[in-house]
Amino acid sequence: MGKNNVFTNDIKEVIINEEEIKQRIEELGKEITNIYNDDDDIVMLCILRGAILFMADLAREIDLPVVFDFMDVSSYGASTESSGVVRIIKDMEENIEGRHLLIVEDIIDTGRTLKHVIDMLQTRNPKSIKVVTLLDKPERRVKKEIDADFNGFEIPDEFVVGYGLDFAEKYRNLSFIGVLKEKLYI
Ligand SMILES: O=P(O)(O)OC[C@H]1O[C@H](OP(=O)(O)OP(=O)(O)O)[C@H](O)[C@@H]1O
Ligand SMILES: Nc1nc2[nH]cnc2c(=O)[nH]1
């Protein structure tokens, strides 16, 4: 597990290591750079808090003018199950009318969070809305219409932590994605 030894006893398995994350983000950065074909800037919207590390690393792999913005959305509290209630704790600051919006997520699970965010932001008339997620759990999708334009890794239906993802606010600073031992959350 490398540098995050303090968490060794809590992690059942590393499913994506630091190097794999780095390589995939480089690829995603190239894909994203190649897809936009005008000179307009892109508003990269980080969905707090989980996507913060992904946003920071991905932005440096995109060779286009980008603007950073942040939205704090919560649907989980301290549980591992989606409540279905999505709260906007902090809205974004930029005016996105007529501009490209790239939503940056750490994980799409039920799709409830993203559905809520996209529905809300579409009413502000951006030029385009695209979604990039580091992780996708398609088996768990409740909002079937929700999908990412760019996806780092498809993962099975297991609760993961690390590289921004938490359990009760812990484990976000792990440099890899791992599965938490069940005894810690069941
Ligand atoms: O597809 P869904 O089932 O809606 O789940 C995905 C959402 O859940 C997590 O956020 P969380 O509310 O845990 O907040 P956090 O990013 O601050 O950890 C994650 O960051 C996504 O935003
Ligand atoms: N930390 C964490 N948050 C999630 N939100 C939705 N799925 C997950 C998951 O597997 N881990």
- Would you place residue 72 in the very low, low, confident or very high pLDDT band (cuts 50, 70, 90)? very high
Asked if residue 181 belongs to a domain, the reply is no
Is the CB of residue 57 less than 8 Å from the CB of residue 22?
yes
Asked if residue 52 belongs to a domain, the reply is yes
> Which residue range forms the structural domain that includes residue 144?
17-159
* pLDDT (average), residues 35-58: 95
Asked if residue 174 belongs to a domain, the reply is no
Is the distance from the beta carbon of residue 160 to the nearest atom of ligand 2 less than 6 Å?
Answer: yes
Asked if residue 33 belongs to a domain, the reply is yes
- Would you place residue 83 in the very low, low, confident or very high pLDDT band (cuts 50, 70, 90)? low
Tell me how far apart the alpha carbons of residues 104 and 82 are, in angstroms, rounded to a whole number: 19
Pairwise pLDDT comparison (122 vs 182), residue with the higher score: 122
Is the distance from the beta carbon of residue 62 to the nearest atom of ligand 2 less than 6 Å?
Answer: no
Amino acid at 153: F
Asked if residue 179 belongs to a domain, the reply is no
Asked if residue 143 belongs to a domain, the reply is yes
* pLDDT (average), residues 83-108: 93
What contacts 45, CB < 8 A, 6 or more positions away? 69, 70, 71, 92, 101, 102, 103, 104, 121
Is the distance from the beta carbon of residue 42 to the nearest atom of ligand 2 less than 6 Å?
Answer: no
Q: Is the pLDDT of residue 122 over 90?
A: yes
75 burial (CB, 10 Å; 0-12 / 13-18 / 19+) is middle
Q: Is the pLDDT of residue 6 over 90?
A: no
Question: How many domains does the chain fold into?
Answer: 1
Residue 22 backbone phi and psi in degrees, to 5: -60, -45
Q: Is the pLDDT of residue 78 over 80?
A: no
pTM of the full structure: 0.94
Q: What is the pLDDT of residue 55?
A: 98
Q: Is 57 noted as a catalytic residue in this protein?
A: no
Q: Is the pLDDT of residue 76 over 60?
A: no
Instruction: Calculate ∠ Cα 170-180-20, nearest 5°.
Output: 90
Alpha-carbon distance values, 66 to 15, 32, 84, 89 (Å):
31, 12, 31, 24
Number of C-beta neighbours around residue 10 at 10 A: 17
Is the distance from the beta carbon of residue 117 to the nearest atom of ligand 2 less than 6 Å?
Answer: no
Asked if residue 129 belongs to a domain, the reply is yes
Q: What is the pLDDT of residue 101?
A: 98
* pLDDT (average), residues 83-107: 93
Ligand nearest to the CA of 49: 1
CATH of the domain at 48: 3.40.50.2020
- How many angstroms is it from 80 CA to the middle of ligand 2? 7
Tell me how far apart the alpha carbons of residues 44 and 74 are, in angstroms, rounded to a whole number: 19
Asked if residue 171 belongs to a domain, the reply is no
* pLDDT (average), residues 96-109: 97
